[in-house]
Amino acid sequence: MQMLCRLLLGCLARGLGWAVVVLLFSAAANAKPSTDKTSPREALEASVRQWTAQTQKVPLDKVVLAPMDNRVQVRSCDQSLAMDLPFASAETVRVRCAQPVWQLYVRVNLPVKTPDAQTATKAEKPEMAPKRWVLVAAVALQRGMTLNESHVQRVEVDTSGLPMNVLEQASEVMHAEVVRDVRPGTPLKRVDIRPTVLVKRGQTVLMSVGQAQGFQISARVEALQDGRFGEQIKLKNRESGRELSGRVQGPNQVLGL
């Protein structure tokens, strides 16, 4: 604004007249501040499309991204996004940010090749292995960490070179803990986790007997031993002194047997 005022005064001093002043004021009044702001999700998607088009040698308008889960929060990145293909398939792009540190996996649908192109590709490369949905570590997992759904991500990968006993559903890591360190992006195997201790010896736990949809009785009992999810442990009714058995169902919760 100060620069505009100085310019107007200069125009008057040079005798350019009020007409120029009016034109300058009109231009300033009609100028609108830029409101074009790109969200972190839109910026990420645009970067993935551009990177895929360049690396896969396909037209930019032919690269289509699979819809991301609305529960996934895309944060802004203070540095340029780094991208690579962690699996054999070119349809799963890993996006990483160094500051702040985070990473996401984005599914990319590439254009379908023509029959001639498909024939040429088969002559040059072996047929692609079938794909499979598996769980990978979304963050660095450390030994002893208790898992939940935010620690894993479900992605589709080629089965070639895939280890045995890979987990497929997020529900498989509930009430589980990590037994060894796992790097981000690594498929999770059954040997990488074990049920976590949900009941400790000496604690008072809630024992339920019966069906949840029908008749059910609940009582407070004492745990006589530690118990992991799904394990059968011994219990004691403090009032009667009677020993019971139950199966661990949740934190301080057992199902009477």
18-37 burial: b if 16+ Cβ within 10 Å, else e: eeeeeeeeeeeeeeeeeeee
pLDDT at 242 over 70: yes
CA dist 177 and 143 (Å) reads: 8
pLDDT digits (tens, 9 = 90+) for 119-154: 555 555 556 667 888 888 888 999 988 888 888 888
pLDDT at 17: 47
Q: Is pLDDT larger for residue 127 or for residue 79?
A: 79
Tokens of 39: 């969200």
Q: Are the C-beta atoms of 65 and 107 separated by less than 8 Å? A: yes
Which percentage of the chain shows pLDDT scores above 70?
Answer: 77
Question: Which pLDDT value is given to residue 204?
Answer: 92
- Burial tier of 106 (Cβ tally within 10 Å: 0-12, 13-18, 19+): buried
- Eight-class DSSP state of 37: -
Whether the predicted pLDDT of 31 surpasses 70: no
Least confident of 23-37, 108-122, 156-170: 23-37
Q: Is the peptide bond before 100 cis (omega within 30 degrees of 0)?
A: yes
Please state the domain extents for the chain: 37-124, 129-195, 197-256
- Which of 189-193, 198-202, 209-213, 233-237 bottoms out in mean pLDDT, i.e. has the lowest? 209-213
Model-wide pTM > 0.75: no
Handedness of CA 188, 190, 191, 197 (dihedral sign): positive
Contacts of 16 (CB under 8 A, 6+ apart): none
**Identity of the residue numbered 34:** S
The CATH code for residues 129-195 is: 3.90.1210.10
CATH for the stretch 197-256? 2.30.30.760
Torsion of the alpha carbons at 113, 117, 118 and 121, rounded to the nearest 10: -120
